[in-house]
Structure 1
Amino acid sequence: MFKKIRFTGMAVAILSTVLLAACGTSKAPSGSSAPAAATPPAGGTAKPTAKLVMATNATFPPFEFVDTSSGAKQFSGLDIDIIKQIAKNLGFEFTITDMPFASVVGSLKDGRADFAISGMSPTEERKKNVDFSIDYFKPRNAIVYLKGANYKTMNDLEGKKIIVPFGTTYEKDAKTIKGANVVAIDGSTAVIQEVKSKRGDAAMIDGSEAHEFLKKNPELEMSLLPPTEDSFAIAFPKGSKWVEPFNNELKKMQENGQMKELVKKWLGDQFAQ
């Protein structure tokens, strides 16, 4: 799981078709047999050339989640918007298969999916089983605290009581802070409740998670810490010909500002720097 702390719960498989262009006539087979011809022609928009299957675990807002606000189940989030843009440019249609995070890599290996995007870090262990695109996002850790506390850096937490999710990298990082009383409990929701109840001075959790908590808890603030070595990338079956076309589109989005705007849309100005 990404960053060693991705809490997913049990997700029931949901299959939802997302049509992004006019109806295509050919279907791309899974894995390495997917045609590279899906790359759009220079100066124009490609017509649909394939129908792909995307694997994800839609329990990680704001990257991917199931939105029922319209009365129907729809997949939404930053990762979904990124794929919609790539699909539009490359000219393919795709369906989304929602599954437990632990099953995502396996779905690529056994041909059930053509690519996966799910807040996934390209670890060395995963690279043994799947191929990855270039990085498209650098996650950041955050300090969460009651308004007015103004904890901007880890040094500001010296001698403070810090609440962290049990068994995570945050627990390890917090224990390096001089004089800190580090308390590890199960789950980010419980961690945030401890801070709200003033049973802890601050929490250390994933920045994107913190962003979502702040939407529902206006009494809280957060400070983002410098980027870590972690990153998110799109995964593919070994040898997939879709890696290069996806990489080309990701590079374009990074260069023309589209990626920055999507990050800003879902995570705010702090993450778009």
Structure 2
Amino acid sequence: MGNLSKISMAAALGVGTFLLAGCGSSAGASNTLLGQVKSTHQLIIAESAFAPQDYQNPQTKQWTGYDVDILRGFAKSLGAKLKIDALPFSSSIQAVADKRADITIDIYKTANRAKVLSFSRPMLNYDDAIAVNSQSPGVTQDSVSALKGKTIAVVTGSAEVPEAQAVPGANVTQYGSVAESFLALSEGRVAADFQPDTDIAWAKRQNPSLHIKILGAVPASISPPIQSLRGYFGVPKGSYSQSFLNKLNAYLKTIAENGTEQKILDKYGMTSPVFLKGISSAPNS
């Protein structure tokens, strides 16, 4: 998000305003997340509409996406069903930290996020890319010098925010969703858009009328190291979530090893082996 796929942490986390007890999914018969999920038979995911990670099917209005499919299968293994709590991404991490939701969509693991969340083992590899208008590109090279002084779109609360802010003189314009940022790019209102490559490819596949294309990778000098460009699920921090994390990590390792996760990714056009390269052998977070 994705989407690592992925931050002005003060805005995204609202540090200092956590309601750590007696609210949301922490209330009930159990004092652990695993016990809560098993007793209520539901796993609450903070959804943020980052296709193909998680989005509403326009025909059925049902939530789908590879994160949804993975977590739906995990919920089933616990005798539970997935419940969707649809939130802007900038609010979703706060909701999980507050225990109003049980788990995030897959996100990048950062030091600031680790202050308020515990993370699963990695479940996917990502790569941040620069999207431009396919008919009239406002940027023609994937370099910092070419991006200098340009208007760059990002999603509020995402890891791409500090990447764009690192471009000298850039006018960083933040949007509430990936779809909004792509529309701005397609209409020529921004010169470039920093997003995970999965999101750019998916948007173009779903809506060929969008005038967007991948120019290249976000320059290494302003993007995180490649080992940090992996997706993780986040849960409330602390011992409350540990037994749940043990179950989740075992599940994620199994589906990465037995081909189940690749079959899920295939449904969304993510057939390249790069997405799961090294994931099954990665250490637990």
Whether the TM-score (by the shorter chain) exceeds 0.5 is yes
Distance 2:55 2:74 in 1: 19
What is the Cα-based RMSD across aligned positions, in Å?
4.2
Task: Check if 1:258 corresponds to 2:260.
Answer: yes
CA contact (8 A) 2:128 2:194 kept: yes
**Structure 1 counterpart of 2:17:** none
**Structure 1 counterpart of 2:231:** 232
Residue 229 of structure 2 aligns to a residue in which SS? coil
Alignment of 1:1-273 (within 5 A): 3-4=6-7, 29=29, 32=32, 34-35=34-35, 51-70=41-60, 73-113=61-101, 115-145=102-132, 146=134, 154-155=142-143, 159=146, 163-165=151-153, 168-172=161-165, 174-175=167-168, 184-187=172-175, 189=180, 193-194=184-185, 197=188, 200=191, 203-215=193-205, 216=207, 217=209, 219-222=211-214, 225=217, 227=226, 229-237=228-236, 238-239=238-239, 240=241, 241-270=243-272, 272=275
Equivalent pairs, count? 233
The higher-RCO structure (CA 8 Å, 6+ apart) is 2
Gaps of 5+ in 1: 9-27, 39-47, 176-180
Task: Indicate the structure (1 or 2) with the bigger Cα radius of gyration.
Answer: 1
CA contact (8 A) 1:163 1:191 kept: no
How far residue 4 of structure 1 moved from its aligned partner, in angstroms, is: 2.5
Give the aligned residue type for 1:171: A
How far residue 165 of structure 1 moved from its aligned partner, in angstroms, is: 1.7
State the TM-score, normalized to the length of structure 1. 0.64
Going from structure 1 to structure 2, the CA distance change for 1:51 and 1:94 (only over 3 Å counts) comes to: farther
Gaps of 5+ in 2: 13-27, 219-225, 277-285
Distance 1:110 1:5 in 2: 19
Aligned sequence identity (%) = 17
Going from structure 1 to structure 2, the CA distance change for 1:266 and 1:228 (only over 3 Å counts) comes to: farther
